[in-house]
Amino acid sequence: MLKTHHCGELRRQHAGEAVTLAGWVNRIRAQGGVIFLDLRDRSGVVQITADVARAPQAHADAEKVGREYVIQVVGVVRARPEGMTNPNMPTGEVEIEATGIKILNPAKTPPFELGGDSRVDEAIRLHYRYLDLRRPRMQQNILLRGKVTKFIRDYLYDRGFVEIETPILFKTTPEGARDYLVPSRVHPGKFYALPQSPQQLKQLLMVAGYERYFQIARCFRDEDQRGDRQPEFTQLDMEMSFVEREDVMNLIEGLMTELVEKVSDRELVTKPFPRLSYQEAMARYGSDKPDVRYGLEIKDISDIAGKSAFKVFVENVEAGNPVRAICVPGCGGYTRKQLDDLTELAKSAGGKGLAWMALEAGEQGQVKSPIGKFFSVDQLVAIVDRMEAKPGDLILISADKASVVAAVLDAARREFASRLGLVDPKKIGFCWIIDFPLFDWNADEKRWDPSHHLFTSPMPDDIPLLDSEPGKVRGQQYDLACNGYEVAGGSIRIHDRSLQEKIFGLIGLDVEDAKERFGHMLEAFEYGTPPHGGIAPGIDRLTMLLAGEPNIREVIAFPKSQQAADLMAGAPSAVEPIQLDELHILVNSNDSHSTE
């Protein structure tokens, strides 16, 4: 070993010990005849002193080092004199008096500041990711991620789960995205698909009798890079046999609770996790992944608004659309300009605008609103009562198709929670969403799409509706939301061939297609498949929330850019013509030029 101790572990009780350390030079200062070096390794930073009078050679060597040089230091731990200690450093009570300094490898000056948390262009950070990862914030994130996966493994091993690897080169496992395809050299014209999730494989492991499986699994989804997505990401993939929905949910709730409380410094604010039906979540929060750490809940005022003289509201109610609102405390004094700007917020969520009613501050709390004249006093009072609005509050109202109203008020909730500082980033708020519709209507293709995936079982009571009203069938699906993000989705699966075939039919797969793509699943269902179900929490998103980071790239060691590129190694890249020949691939030269 090139070192006897780690920099960050040295304390006052080590005083007098001879040590050999190795690491990177974090900072250099010269004062009188002494050079001070901060030496850093993964464990932390410790101060080295090289005194010209006491160790002239070490001092001469220290003069040659630069920032980020890799050096080895031989020396003795000294307690710092009274008044010279640094309470901000865990090793601040000691320093190492160097007797020898050896340069193991010099370093160029880094292209950006590695100490502290300075803002650096993300493209540069990703290009020099190995330097970016030296920064304390990134290091904490990556170490936290390791603790998260270790905790999960221990938790599940303790509860009888087995960790099993499944192949990366496989056949399509659809989760609603495009597949990444890998051409086969030995089977000309044929392709493997990278798994969008190990869904089928974990179900087949249940057929195989393993009963409790998990894997920290890499998933690949070729999606348009909207939002905070990565083409490859990691999930805790798990599956259990002989279980019902409650069993999977309870296990995950226990795991998440302990994970937050034992591994992070965050505070869990929803215990036990609230459970909302999909309908309730959409009605109260306008979202199936609500942030339940704050109120600003949506209320329905269709019954009152439909009887007003305001045409937009009346027409919507007549068309069966809702009129819904949120009450924003203390924003009744917004200027006309501020209120007009809310139209943009509504438009960005796909709506046309937001109507508003402001309650003047003071005892009277008169309602001020451009649409106030279309309401009777009784109607205004009824709205104020329904919204539990107080003087000085602002009521924001949306009337449209239910999905648009939900999106607009969801956006308004998020916006005002942030403006009013209602979100404490230290807090973690989980909730379960259940009773999802099994299908979404795909109007373009005129067919039903699975709202979760193809293998989710309908609620037993709703099975008869598959023939008559598929849109009303609920799935045995459960999603876990946290702080406004979806962090896990799972379901009880179909384990019966004929029911599975029926679902394939409803989503427009004909018998031949279904056989070609999923014949192995249908076949397996005939060999004694136990009732089973599972879930898959996203490790990236979860770690992001536990670390308090704004995006998942901050908790992935080598993420892709938002354009799905690796900016460090330069992937994707062109390949040698001979490789393409071997793979029986002819690249359209127009395409290859345009993407280079």
String of contacts with ligand ASP for each residue 96-135, x by CB under 6 A = ----------------------------------------
Q: Which listed residue (38, 61, 68, 175) binds ligand ASP by CB under 6 A?
A: 175
Q: Which is nearer to ligand ASP, 429 or 490 (CB)?
A: 490
- How many of the chain's residues bind ligand ASP (CB under 6 A)? 10
Question: Least distance (Å) from ligand ASP to the CB of residue 543?
Answer: 17
Which pair of tokens denotes residue 320?
């069966």
Q: Which is nearer to ligand ASP, 203 or 264 (CB)?
A: 203
Tell me which residue of 585, 569, 571, 586 sits closest to 127, measured CA to CA.
569
String of contacts with ligand ASP for each residue 507-526, x by CB under 6 A = --------------------
The helix, strand and coil proportions of the chain, stated in percent and rounded to the nearest 5, come to 35, 25, 40
Query: 37, exposed or middle or buried, with CB in 10 Å at 0-12, 13-18, 19+?
Result: buried
Segment contacting ligand ASP (CB under 6 A): 94-102, 156-164, 281-289, 489-497? 489-497
Tell me which residue of 167, 161, 151 sits closest to 206, measured CA to CA.
161
Residue 255 as a binder of ligand ASP (CB under 6 A): the answer is no
Amino acid at 530: P
Q: Which is nearer to ligand ASP, 212 or 293 (CB)?
A: 212
Q: Which is nearer to ligand ASP, 22 or 438 (CB)?
A: 438
Amino acid at 379: Q
Q: Which is nearer to ligand ASP, 220 or 273 (CB)?
A: 220
> Which region, left, alpha or beta, applies to residue 389 given φ > 0 means left and ψ of -120 to 50 means alpha?
beta
Q: Which is nearer to ligand ASP, 351 or 490 (CB)?
A: 490
Tell me which residue of 105, 101, 98, 127 sits closest to 34, measured CA to CA.
98
Q: Which is nearer to ligand ASP, 197 or 215 (CB)?
A: 197
Question: Least distance (Å) from ligand ASP to the CB of residue 532?
Answer: 10
Segment contacting ligand ASP (CB under 6 A): 388-396, 430-438, 485-493, 504-512? 485-493
**φ/ψ of residue 97, rounded to 5:** -85, 110
Q: Which listed residue (197, 200, 457, 500) binds ligand ASP by CB under 6 A?
A: 197
Q: Which is nearer to ligand ASP, 208 or 580 (CB)?
A: 208
Residue at shortest CB range from ligand ASP:
197
Tell me which residue of 209, 212, 255, 281 sits closest to 524, measured CA to CA.
209
d(CA 394, CA 334): 8
Question: Least distance (Å) from ligand ASP to the CB of residue 170?
Answer: 13
* β 212-220/162-163 pair status: parallel
Query: 546, exposed or middle or buried, with CB in 10 Å at 0-12, 13-18, 19+?
Result: buried
* CA 175 to the chain's CA centroid: 17
Q: Which listed residue (26, 49, 91, 199) binds ligand ASP by CB under 6 A?
A: 199
Q: Which listed residue (489, 495, 509, 514) binds ligand ASP by CB under 6 A?
A: 489
Q: Which of residues 449-478 bind ligand ASP (CB under 6 A)?
A: 453
Q: Which of residues 523-542 bind ligand ASP (CB under 6 A)?
A: 534-536
Q: What is the DSSP letter of 227?
A: S
Q: Across-strand partners of 101?
A: 73
Question: Least distance (Å) from ligand ASP to the CB of residue 209?
Answer: 19
Q: Which listed residue (491, 500, 529, 543) binds ligand ASP by CB under 6 A?
A: 491
CA distances from 258 to 173, 266, 385, 514 (A): 31, 11, 41, 41
DSSP 3-state of 35: strand
Q: What is the DSSP letter of 552?
A: G
Q: Which is nearer to ligand ASP, 245 or 453 (CB)?
A: 453
Q: What is the DSSP letter of 235?
A: E
Q: Which is nearer to ligand ASP, 79 or 177 (CB)?
A: 177
Q: For binding to ligand ASP (CB under 6 A), which residues are involved? A: 175, 197, 199, 453, 489-491, 534-536
